[in-house]
Chain A
Amino acid sequence: MNKTFNNLKTFYHKLGSSPWFYKISGITIPYVALFSFLFLSIGIVWGVFFSPTDFKQGDVYRIIYMHVPAASVSQAIYYTMTVAAVVSMIWRMKMAGIFIKSMAPIGASFTFLALISGSIWGQPTWGTWWIWDARLTSTLVLFIFYIAIISLYSSFSEKKSADQAVSILTLVGAVNLPIIKKSVDWWNTLHQPASIKFTQSSSISPEMLYPLIISIFGFYLVVLLSGLMAMRAEIAKREINKEWFKNY
């Protein structure tokens, strides 16, 4: 038990070291790229071309293979940014600031993709591109928080104060996350409740669910890949004059 804790502590300290991260990410990026390509292409091709047609919505439902993964990662990225914000505020870990700075544009992109794909799906099924219901509005708020984080960061010239200010803003925006998740249960919305359930059987049939899960996995790998690349670029930007970087 004590040994496990010590290993975790060592790992935590290593994560805080930018040279270590720069080295490890350089090694892992090609593998992550390969697997994200595999999972994403299998998930999307299977979903779009080989999964069965839905009994109610017909073929238009196939946008689910893009909409649900994008919506899922857009929230997951914000959760990880919240953890990084807490670490950055309490331990002043430099890497936590780099993490938030690098992930915010990726989160914004996927939230945008979720909003757009949802809009394209809504028009033929619901009959409207947009409606101010609780699920759509709270997702738009998430997008605005990402944009606010990016703009707040760029308004500072000093990295240390930028990291602290952005951490506070990230923490405030975290309140929105449970609202997005529970909005369809707490209020009347046009958006339907979740189809993939963890505690009971899902309301989407297995032959439609499997490609969806592969596609979701592929999206998470793409986020991991782009996150690693963005963080490497940010480390290089901040530490270009450091001794270790010159010798790398």
Chain B
Amino acid sequence: MIKIRKNRLYAVLFIFGSSLLATVLVLTALNQNINLFYSPSDLFASNPSPNKSIRVGGLVQKGSLVRIPDSLEINFTITDLKEEVTVNYSGILPDLFKEDAGVVATGYYDQINNSFQAFEILAKHDENYEPKEVVQALEGK
């Protein structure tokens, strides 16, 4: 390789390397903030302020969903299979919200009662796709 091209190659490596380094430093510094939500275990460990709105995510525990009659209010438990937190919410739910499925709730955490007052509920679905008929046939067995 002739000398001038070698020097240009070093320039390429330098530009790429320095932008990579800058990005890694930024991402390391922001690491906690890039996570979209706290898992219930993170919540206990980090102890967030009750006046700041945060997100908690995990699975809706099976059998925990309670609908208050004649209102839009519901109670349920978010679990990460280690710790859990009780959520209260009143409003419209996304179609995919159900027990034993992923959920991300935005709201305020009350540490004393280990309860979470949510003002927004989002459903988090997984990456599995199966034909409806196949699943119904398997469940019918």
**B127, A175: Cβ atoms under 8 Å?**
no
Interface centre among A91, A126, A168 (most CB of B within 10 A): A126
B residues 95-133 touching A (CB-CB < 8 Å): 95-97, 101, 104, 120-133
Q: Does A152 contact B (CB under 8 A)?
A: no
B side interface size, CB within 8 A: 41
**B122, A55: Cβ atoms under 8 Å?**
no
Q: Does B39 contact A (CB under 8 A)?
A: yes
Q: Does A89 contact B (CB under 8 A)?
A: yes
Residues in A whose Cβ lies below 8 Å from that of B40: none
**B96, A56: Cβ atoms under 8 Å?**
yes
**A125, B35: Cβ atoms under 8 Å?**
no
A residues 78-129 touching B (CB-CB < 8 Å): 86, 89-91, 124-128
Determine the residue in chain A with the shortest Cβ distance to B8: A90
**A127, B15: Cβ atoms under 8 Å?**
no
CA distance A125 to B121 in the complex (A): 12
Determine the residue in chain B with the shortest Cβ distance to A167: B12
Which of A37-45, A191-199, A213-221, A234-242 sits within the interface?
A: A191-199
A side interface size, CB within 8 A: 43
CA distance A204 to B128 in the complex (A): 6
Least distance between A179 CB and chain B CB atoms (Å): 7
Residues of B within 8 A of A (CB): 5, 8-9, 11-12, 15-16, 19-20, 23, 27, 34-37, 39, 57, 93-97, 101, 104, 120-136
Residues of A within 8 A of B (CB): 52-58, 61, 64, 86, 89-91, 124-128, 131-134, 168, 171-172, 174-176, 179, 186-190, 192-195, 203-205, 207-208
